[in-house]
């Protein structure tokens, strides 16, 4: 139907569908039915193609919205959820510093309409910017607790 690559990723990030164009664009990541992945995993003969978890994760992360897009999309999504009466949500896959930075900026601006619990992809633990961010959050919380004890 199209020569453009289409990858439909399940919202849970536990699966995706590739059209033929996407399969051809990412041939190194796919293992045909009945084949064997480099990890030694056998692919059942009737399963179609298999993408390794690592390759799938990298592909999913590469297609995530970027910082400027997130600054627009997150408030719109929060406004929609709020209009339905939703007061809190989970963001199930924070995997880039763009996502972290967008949430930080939106929080700073007061543009987060609902409380959001974020689930961070462990790959960010290897990013020094994320480690620095966590250290600053912990430091701020410790300072706030100390000020509360002092009665400020």
| Tens of each residue's pLDDT in the chain, 152 residues | 578 877 777 666 666 777 777 777 765 555 554 555 455 554 444 455 556 667 677 777 877 889 999 999 999 999 999 999 999 999 888 999 999 999 999 999 999 999 999 899 888 999 999 999 999 888 888 888 888 888 76
Residue with tokens 């100390």: 146
Reported pTM? 0.68
Asked if residue 93 lies in contact with residue 122, where contact means CB atoms within 8 angstroms, the answer is no
**Whole-angstrom distance, CA of residue 104 vs CA of residue 9:** 26
Q: Are 119 and 89 in contact (CB under 8 A)?
A: no
Please report the pLDDT score of residue 117 as a whole number: 93
Q: Which residues contact 120 (CB under 8 A, 6 or more apart)?
A: 94, 95, 100, 130
Q: What pLDDT was estimated at residue 126?
A: 92
Quote the distance between the C-alpha of residue 97 and its chain's center.
10
């Amino acid at each position: 139907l199209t020569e453009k690559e289409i990858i439909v990723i399940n919202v849970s990030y536990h699966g995706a569908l590739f059209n033929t164009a996407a399969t051809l664009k990412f041939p190194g990541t796919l293992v045909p039915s009945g084949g064997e992945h480099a990890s030694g995993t056998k692919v059942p003969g009737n399963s179609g193609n298999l993408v390794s978890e690592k390759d799938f994760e990298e592909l999913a992360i590469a297609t995530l919205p970027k910082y400027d897009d997130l600054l627009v999309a997150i408030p719109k999504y929060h406004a929609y959820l709020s209009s339905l009466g939703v007061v809190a949500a989970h963001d199930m896959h924070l995997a880039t510093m763009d996502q972290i930075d967008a949430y930080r900026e939106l929080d700073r601006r007061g543009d987060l309409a609902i409380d959001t619990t974020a689930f961070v992809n462990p790959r960010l633990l290897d990013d020094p910017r994320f480690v620095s961010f966590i250290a600053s959050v912990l430091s701020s919380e410790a300072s706030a607790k100390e000020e509360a004890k002092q009665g400020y």
